[in-house]
Each structure stands twice: as C-alpha cells, then as structure tokens.
Structure 1
Amino acid sequence: MQTVETLNEGLKRAYTVTITSKDIDARVEKEVQAIAPQVRMPGFRPGKVPANLVKKMHGENLQRDALNNSIQESIQKLIADQKLRPAMQPSVELDEGFEFGKDAEIKVALEVLPEIEAPSIEGLKLERLTAEVPEDKVTEAAGRIASQQGALEEHAASHKAKDGDTLSIDFVGKVDGEAFEGGSAQDVKLKIGAGQFIPGFEEQLTGVKKGEEKTITVTFPKDYGAAHLAGKEATFDITVKAILNADKPKLDDEFAKSLGLEGLDKLKELLKGQIEQEHNGLTRTYMKRKLLDQLAAAHDFDVPPSMVEAEFEQIWAQLQHEASHEEDPEAALKEMEAEKDDYRAIAVRRVRLGLLLSEIGQANGVTVSDQEMNRLIMQAAQQYSPQDRERFVQYVRQDPMAAAQLRAPLYEDKVVDFLFEKAEVTDRTVTREELEAAIEAEDGDLKPHVHGPDCGHDHDHDHGKPKAKKAAPKKKAAEPAEAEAAPAAEPEEAPAKKPAAKKAAAKKDAPVAEEAAAEEKPRKKAAPKKAAAKAE
C-alpha cells in the first residue's frame, strides 16, 4: 500500500492510496483456499473441487470482497499511521478506470478533530438559583387534580347553571318514545360548553337548578357512530342532581382516598415532592447554561465543517417541524430564513462545546459503566411495543453507533456533574417565576455574540437515527423527542463503520467521534400570528 497526502488545510485532509493488484490477488487466493472444502460440484468428491474451478465459479464475488476488504484495511491503516482522529466517516472514491488485475487507486477525504489543549476546569464560578415550594402552590396543584376528577364544591340550590359549570345528572334517552340501549346513565358529569355530548344537548341545560327535571330534544348527527341512531330525533329525560363550582375544588380526605391515598396530607406530600423535582430540574438547566457560557467564552478553536453542517441540519429540521404547526407557517419560515446565519452560529457553538465536554470527560476519567448502559438500554426499550423490545435491545448491543448515541446524553450529564463539583457555587433563593424568567432570558438570546439559546442533541446531538444493518423496531406512537443537548460522548467507544468500496464516491454520515453536548434545544422567537407582521 502506498499513500500520498494531497490536502492538508486546516482540519481537512485528503490522500491517494494505492493498493497493488498483487495484494488483491493474494486475498482472492486465500479466500479460494478457505472456501474450497465447502464447494460442491457434480463429478467431484466433496472438498475436492480444483481451485481453478472454484475461482471460475465464484471469482467475481471473491474479487469484489477482496477489494472491499483491502480498502477497509487500507483506510484503517491510513488513520493509524497518520494518527488521524476523523470527525466524520471518511469519503472513499475508487478510481473510475479501475479494472481487476490492475492496481486500485482510491481517494480518501476526511475532516479531523481539532487538537484541543486540555480544557482548564479551574476558576469556574456558578450561581445556584433555588426555589422553595409555597404551600399555596401545593394546594393549587391538588385543586387542579380535583377539578379534573370532578371533585368540586356544589353551588347553592338557587344557582342557575351557566356556561363552564359542571352538572351531575341522570338521564334516559328515548327514540319514538322507547328507551334505547346505551341511552341511560346515572351520576354523569357534564360540563356546559365542553362539547362532550351531541350538539344541542349541553346548551339546553343552561339555566337549570339542582333538583330540576327537564326533557330535551336533540337530533343525532348523520355520521353518528351508532348507525341505528344516526340522523334520528331523540328525547332525554334529565334529572339535575348537583351543579358543581369549577372554581372551588373539593379538597378533603375523602377525595384523596378516592385516589388510593391515605388522606389529603399524603396527596399534598406527593405533590410537593413532584414540584420540588421540577424546581431542581430548572435549577440544573440554569446552572448548565451558565457553565457552558463560561466554557464557550474561554475556548475558541476551529471545528470540523461537516460536524457543524450535520448539527445545523438537525436544528433546521426541528425548526421547520415547529414552523409547520404555527398559525402562519409561511411567515414563520420566512422569519427562520432571516435568522439562518444565527442558527448556523448556534450549530458551531454546539459542536465546539460538545468537543470540549468530551475532552474534559476523557481527561478526567468520566465513563459510563456497563451497569449504567444496561439500565439505559432497558429504559429506552420501554418506548417500544412489547413485541419489539427484545429486537431493540439486540439492535443496540450489536451496533456500536447506536449504543454510542444512546450513551451520549448520560455521558454528558456525568461530565456536567463533574464540573459542577469542581466549580465554586454560591446559592441564592428565588421564586419559581424568577427562576423561569432567568432561563427564559437565556432562551431569547439567539445572536452569536451572546452564544445563542439552548443547545441540544438527541444523541442527543443526533445526526440522525443510528444506522443499523437491521432496521430498529418501531416505537409506539409518540411525539418526536426534542433534543435537550448535544451530549458529550466517549469517542473511542463509537468507532466509525467500515466504508464499502464503490466505483462512485462512498460517503457516510456516521460520526467517528460523537460531539458532545452543549446547551438545550434551540427555540424560535415568537412566531408571527396569521398574516400579522413578525413581532420581536
């Protein structure tokens, strides 16, 4: 194998590699000897087919396999000999005029990871904003649950039902004077104006009082699910048993016990714990962004354009998806286009911070244990239907890139936690509203000179789903996961897949070194409503 470097500019490298026909022929001969004992041919005893006939039968496939294997090994040797750290999968192009029996000349192009000086982790200073949980917020949360469950205080008997009130009713439905199957029920909760019942039903209950009996007439829609009722007129004899006040949830031990709890105090204890977890998540989000701001300010180096482009494409796809759900998608897309350079700057920042976190993690021995990885796989498998979970587990265990992408978010979290421990942290107590406002202030800064908003990834910097030889099982129906960060990964654990030799350029997008994470997902500015001019 002969290697000639043809490009060395910045992070770009290119080489011409020559593989001699002698090497390829030797591989073919070796493979012929290996498969000959298994070849069967009429007129010859098993395993006694002459080598020249074996080559005649399988020569084309053997030559192609020998060429592919030679190219794969040549690229691996090139990377090792040149001490390269590919940022993405190298592109490989076989000379158009190649013929078997001649030397093979291939062109290899790639981008390498930048040489990063060991990032300094000294002198980090962070503020930890913490929010306590006021009792009234716990009561408010309990009240929302009670309202959802219909556990409400009753209005006075003199109260007349109005839009928004919830009624407890019994009813008997009749068609042509005869009660029909499924048309009767007791203690049904009906909220006037919610549109839960067929058209005209709820409206006719406006103004009724507790204890009142009333007969209403409605017509079932022509497309009603029950064919024997579709389009027919029906009457409903209704008894109003109670009119409930949606503004006054009924919070007592009886309600809590209906949820399977010991009492109201236990419900409030659980809710307080949930709110505390939410506050802790907000605190971590704020600290992480401030940490990343300090890292970004202290380090500036070139990053591989291919990694930036992959990151930008992910950001852009996410924003396009969000724009498609706006009231005026065309105006939202127009606003995006005006800020395209800003989003590309965010992609640069993400990749740079990802590489920094990865370097910090490696330099300080941060790893994801086998036990943690197994737990990750089991948790991720729960997103799939029961029959597909085992397939998913095998898919991840057999595909290094899929495993690396699953591992990456946890690795990032561990690096961030390590840096939190090393930082000088001061505490300040704030309200939840103040904490959310502090985070929102970060979200609004999209311009590159202020580092952009959140930075996320779905490996978590996901350049795309892991490319597996076998398709991964499909997840249960769910909303697309939104990336929270471009997580730091352990590069040495995510080797690039071997390139297959093709006459045309064989390019792949699988990263050799998974970038690490950085911030949280990018958010658009307030999208314009309808045809109104965009608001800043």
Structure 2
Amino acid sequence: MGNREGSSPSSRTSSHTSYWDPFGELMKVEVGEISSVRRTLTIEVSEEDVKKEFARAYTDLRKRVRVPGFRPGKAPHSLLERKYADVVAEDVVLKLVPDYSRRAVKESGMSPIMVEFPSIDHKSIHTDKAFSFTTTIEIKPNFKMNDINGIPLSKETRKITAEDEEKALDALRHRQATLHEVTEERETVEGDFVSVDISGFVGGRPIEALTQTGVLVHLGSKSSYMGVELDAQLTAQRKGDTIDVTGTYPKDSSHSDLSGKPVALAIHVRAVKASVLPELDDEFATDLGLTSLGELKQKVREGLEVQLKRDTEKLYKDQLVKHLVDTHTFDIPPSLLQEEMALAMQHVEHDHQHEHGDDDGSEKQDKLRTLRANIQETAMAQVKARLILDAIAKEQGFTLSDDEIETEYRSLAEQMKLSVAEVKRKVHAGGDRGVERLKARLLHLKAIQHVYDNAHIQD
C-alpha cells in the first residue's frame, strides 16, 4: 500500500487531441500522464480566440475607466492599450485559463477530483499569437477489482459472561445514582463531585466572562478550564479551600483583547458531594418500570446480546476493509491524501488544545510532528478504502433514494441533538462537496454490507 506518486513534474506519456469546444472553435489539447492519477492538459487557445478575448476585455475596460479629455466610453483603443496593457493582459489570462481548462476537461471525458490551474505571467500572452498553457488534474485511480465474494473471516467466539452482566448492572446503578453532600471532614478523592466557584483575573482586573458559580467537577473526568487540569488542582482539597492557579485565555476567543493572555484563577471549594448508588433489588427494578430484579437482569442480558452482535458485525466489517486495502495496489491521489491528513490534524490539534490549552512550546510541536507521521499511514489506508468502496458501489450499481438520504439527515439530527433543518444547513454549507460526502458515506455503507453479506465466516 502506498502513494507511488512520481516526483518528476514532466509527463511520462502524451497524446495529441483536438476538441471542438461548446462555442464551435477548435481547441488543441495534448494530454500527458504524470502518474496513474495525475494528468497534464496542455491547451492551445487559437490566435483568433485570443484576439476576441482581448477585444472583450478592452470593451469592458472602456466602459469602466474615466480618461481625461474623453467622454465615458469614447477613449481610443491605442490610448487604453498604452495605459492599461498589463491590466488587460492579466484579465485575459485569468479568463482564458479556467474557461479553457474546464472545457478541455469536459470534452476529454475525464472526471477530475482536482484541477490545478497554472500561475501564468501575463506578459506571456500576446494579441497576435496563439496562447498555450498547461493545467494539471487529478483523477481517481483505475484498478482491477479482486474477487470480493467469499472473503474468509475467523469466527468471533466471544460470548456474554456473568461478569459482563454484573458490569452492565453496575453501570445502570451509577446512572441512577444520587449526589449527597459529604458532611464528614475529609479531603476530596477521585470519584467525588466538587462544587466550585471560579473567579478569573487578567492583569489584576476581574473578568466577568471568567466568573463561574456552582460548577460541578467530577474528579477523574479530566476536566480542564483555561488550560488548567482541574483533577490535579481539586484532589486532596477540603470544603472552604481556595486554590490559586494560572491559566491562559484561549487564542480563538471572541475577546481579542484577552486572547492568549495569562489568567489568574481563584477556585473556591463550596461543597463536596459523593455519588450514592441504589441497592440492586426489586425496588430498583420497579423504579425503572419493570416488575422484578429478575426481569431487569433478563433485559440487561438481551441488551448485551444485541450490542455484542453489533460489535461483532463491526469487527468483521473492519477486517474486511483491511483485507480490501491490503489486497489492492494503486496510486493514491495526493490531494485526497492531503485533505484527509489536514482533517485528521485539525481533530488532533483540537483535542490537544482541549487537554493542554494554548501551549505553543517546542514540546507541543514535537508531539504534533510525531502524530502527523502516524496520521499519514492511517490517512492513506482510509483514502484507499474509500476509493475501493467507491468502485464496489459503482460495480454493483448501488444508488440512493430520497427516503434514504432523508433518513440519514434524521439520524444525524438525533446524534447531534439538532433539528433536521439545522443539520441540512450544516451539510449544505460545504456546497456540493458536503452533500456528495454524505451520499458517498451512505454508498460506502452499502458496499461494505455487500462484501459482508458475501463473506465466509470460518468455524
């Protein structure tokens, strides 16, 4: 597995083709191959078309500019050419390059995932000559799909145990626990819930936005505030204690005058509370709407069986995706890999900032460099998996109905605790790309389900 992208910018092979563009003009295009996923389109715009574009540009310019001594729109061409030749040439280049690149791509029949327009010096275009430039595009790799029927899977033998049931019942008791204030004189320990009042100061000045009253901190939850890890500060404290610590105001804060500044925090312990679990008996089951403890245990076991089935299916599907990635070899489009890595790094940096605040020191940079190296391999596998699932979905002719897409919107709304309309706005905020990503994910789910349905689970 790997991105075998060549380092040389020159094309390995090329072909000469002429296309009739939508406006009836002959457009010469030379297609070159850099790699299996990168092509060059060397496009020649005819002298006649260049002249037409210059004429259009000067006509537009004449309407816009005011030249002393001439009525609006009446300045002679020769004068405009002397004063604005560079401006017009740049305008013509900026118009011709994307327009003719898109036409060439469309007429070539290729479906690029990225089009890279060249940066061209406007001095290279002349009104009395044909104009040539080279656009680079990336396309999906064309690879031979291996047989995806009967992929062997080792049978998962895990079963629900009495210990699993006990843990599930204990978790249920914790969810139904009540908080009671600790009255005995003791220090706080992990598991306690500490109610605190927080005051914040910048340069000795109290900041209202930093004032928090009655904040409940669960020791052991790794909570932080202004980059300060609260577990470490609030463990081994007593009711009435005040802890003075220094944090950092977030750099992405809306308060630009405070961004990145040191914050003095005074954290006052107003109360210590402990979680009290209900007894595991018939009364507990009745409180949950059941008739007896026996029925509760049966319901818990059934829930564990359902979850085990889901987990096992996910495990099998993960193994199948890995098998597909390991058994197919092709080049990965660099832009897809870069996009995947950038997204992964955003998540990593967000998590790092959440845990460590706005620390920009060398230690953070070293950690991020290490994470970036690890992320690349994972990102390559994820991009490769998506390309394979794309190919399977296309080969099997999978499509999506409006109902399936609407169901996905409702599912996302439930997960994100938003309205369906809000979820749609978020998806459509990414333009066509956002909608296409959502559809691609649903098609990938169909593709891997197809592979799973046809896999062979060995005894």
Alpha carbons of structure 1 residues 65 and 278: separation in structure 2 relative to 1, 3 Å: farther
Alpha carbons of structure 1 residues 387 and 100: separation in structure 2 relative to 1, 3 Å: farther
Alpha carbons of structure 1 residues 277 and 96: separation in structure 2 relative to 1, 3 Å: farther
Which residue number in structure 2 is paired with residue 292 of structure 1?
Answer: 321
Contact kept in structure 2, 1:122 and 1:422, CA below 8 Å: yes
Secondary structure in structure 2 of the residue aligned to 1:138? helix
CA distance in 2, matches of 1:370, 1:96: 48
CA distance in 2, matches of 1:197, 1:314: 36
Which residue number in structure 1 is paired with residue 408 of structure 2?
Answer: 376
Contact kept in structure 1, 2:93 and 2:122, CA below 8 Å: no
Contact kept in structure 2, 1:24 and 1:67, CA below 8 Å: no
Which residue number in structure 2 is paired with residue 195 of structure 1?
Answer: 194
Secondary structure in structure 1 of the residue aligned to 2:457? strand
User: Larger deviation: 3-12 or 62-71?
Assistant: 62-71
1:291 partner letter? L
Alpha carbons of structure 1 residues 118 and 145: separation in structure 2 relative to 1, 3 Å: closer
Is 1:134 aligned with 2:161?
yes
Which residue number in structure 2 is paired with residue 75 of structure 1?
Answer: 101
CA offsets per residue over residues 358-393 of structure 1, 9 Å max, x none?
Answer: 112211122333221122233334537559717617
Secondary structure in structure 2 of the residue aligned to 1:93? coil
2:42 to 13, 16, 29: 16
Contact kept in structure 2, 1:253 and 1:263, CA below 8 Å: yes
Which residue number in structure 2 is paired with residue 282 of structure 1?
Answer: 311
Query: What TM-score results when the alignment is normalised by the length of structure 2?
Result: 0.57
Query: What TM-score results when the alignment is normalised by the length of structure 1?
Result: 0.50
Unpaired segments of 5 or more residues in structure 1? 32-51, 153-159, 166-190, 199-217, 224-233, 237-243, 428-536
2:410 partner letter? M
Secondary structure in structure 1 of the residue aligned to 2:114? coil
1:407 to 417, 439, 444: 439
Contact kept in structure 2, 1:95 and 1:105, CA below 8 Å: no
CA distance in 2, matches of 1:317, 1:25: 47
2:378 partner letter? I
CA distance in 1, matches of 2:192, 2:408: 45
1:125 partner letter? P
Alpha carbons of structure 1 residues 261 and 104: separation in structure 2 relative to 1, 3 Å: farther
Which residue number in structure 1 is paired with residue 335 of structure 2?
Answer: 306
**1:116 Cα deviation (Å)?**
0.4
Secondary structure in structure 2 of the residue aligned to 1:366? coil
CA distance in 2, matches of 1:387, 1:379: 9
Alpha carbons of structure 1 residues 296 and 305: separation in structure 2 relative to 1, 3 Å: same
Secondary structure in structure 2 of the residue aligned to 1:414? helix
Which residue number in structure 2 is paired with residue 367 of structure 1?
Answer: 399
1:143 to 162, 165, 170: 170
Contact kept in structure 2, 1:377 and 1:393, CA below 8 Å: no
Which residue number in structure 2 is paired with residue 188 of structure 1?
Answer: none
Contact kept in structure 2, 1:7 and 1:15, CA below 8 Å: no
**1:282 Cα deviation (Å)?**
2.6
1:108 to 135, 138, 163: 135
Which residue number in structure 2 is paired with residue 2 of structure 1?
Answer: 28
User: Larger deviation: 300-309 or 73-82?
Assistant: 73-82
Secondary structure in structure 2 of the residue aligned to 1:286? helix
CA offsets per residue over residues 15-65 of structure 1, 9 Å max, x none?
Answer: 33233464477689999xxxxxxxxxxxxxxxxxxxx89xx9xxx999999
1:303 partner letter? I
Alpha carbons of structure 1 residues 162 and 137: separation in structure 2 relative to 1, 3 Å: farther
Which residue number in structure 1 is paired with residue 248 of structure 2?
Answer: none
User: Larger deviation: 326-335 or 89-98?
Assistant: 326-335
Larger relative contact order (C-alpha < 8 A, sep ≥ 6)? 1
2:425 partner letter? F
CA distance in 2, matches of 1:11, 1:271: 52
2:422 to 376, 386, 389: 389
Contact kept in structure 1, 2:97 and 2:117, CA below 8 Å: no
2:283 to 227, 251, 254: 254
CA offsets per residue over residues 48-103 of structure 1, 9 Å max, x none?
Answer: xxxx89xx9xxx99999997775555333322444434243333434432679565
Secondary structure in structure 1 of the residue aligned to 2:444? helix
CA distance in 2, matches of 1:85, 1:64: 29
1:120 to 141, 147, 166: 147
2:442 partner letter? L
CA distance in 2, matches of 1:30, 1:119: 54
Is 1:347 aligned with 2:373?
no
Alpha carbons of structure 1 residues 366 and 119: separation in structure 2 relative to 1, 3 Å: farther
Identical columns (%): 19
Contact kept in structure 2, 1:129 and 1:283, CA below 8 Å: yes
Contact kept in structure 2, 1:119 and 1:360, CA below 8 Å: no
CA distance in 2, matches of 1:316, 1:197: 34
**1:417 Cα deviation (Å)?**
0.8
CA distance in 2, matches of 1:277, 1:352: 31
Is 1:417 aligned with 2:446?
no
CA distance in 2, matches of 1:260, 1:341: 52
Contact kept in structure 2, 1:128 and 1:425, CA below 8 Å: yes
Secondary structure in structure 2 of the residue aligned to 1:116? coil
1:4 partner letter? E
Which residue number in structure 2 is paired with residue 467 of structure 1?
Answer: none
1:347 partner letter? A
Alpha carbons of structure 1 residues 130 and 374: separation in structure 2 relative to 1, 3 Å: farther
CA distance in 2, matches of 1:257, 1:399: 51
Contact kept in structure 1, 2:115 and 2:136, CA below 8 Å: no
CA distance in 2, matches of 1:66, 1:261: 77
CA distance in 2, matches of 1:377, 1:7: 40
Alpha carbons of structure 1 residues 65 and 112: separation in structure 2 relative to 1, 3 Å: same
Contact kept in structure 2, 1:8 and 1:14, CA below 8 Å: yes
**1:419 Cα deviation (Å)?**
0.4
Alpha carbons of structure 1 residues 7 and 301: separation in structure 2 relative to 1, 3 Å: closer
Unpaired segments of 5 or more residues in structure 2? 1-26, 58-72, 78-83, 198-238, 245-269
Secondary structure in structure 2 of the residue aligned to 1:129? coil
Which residue number in structure 2 is paired with residue 485 of structure 1?
Answer: none
Is 1:84 aligned with 2:110?
yes
1:282 partner letter? D
Backbone CA RMSD of aligned residues: 5.5
Q: How does 1:447-526 map to 2 (within 5 A)?
A: none
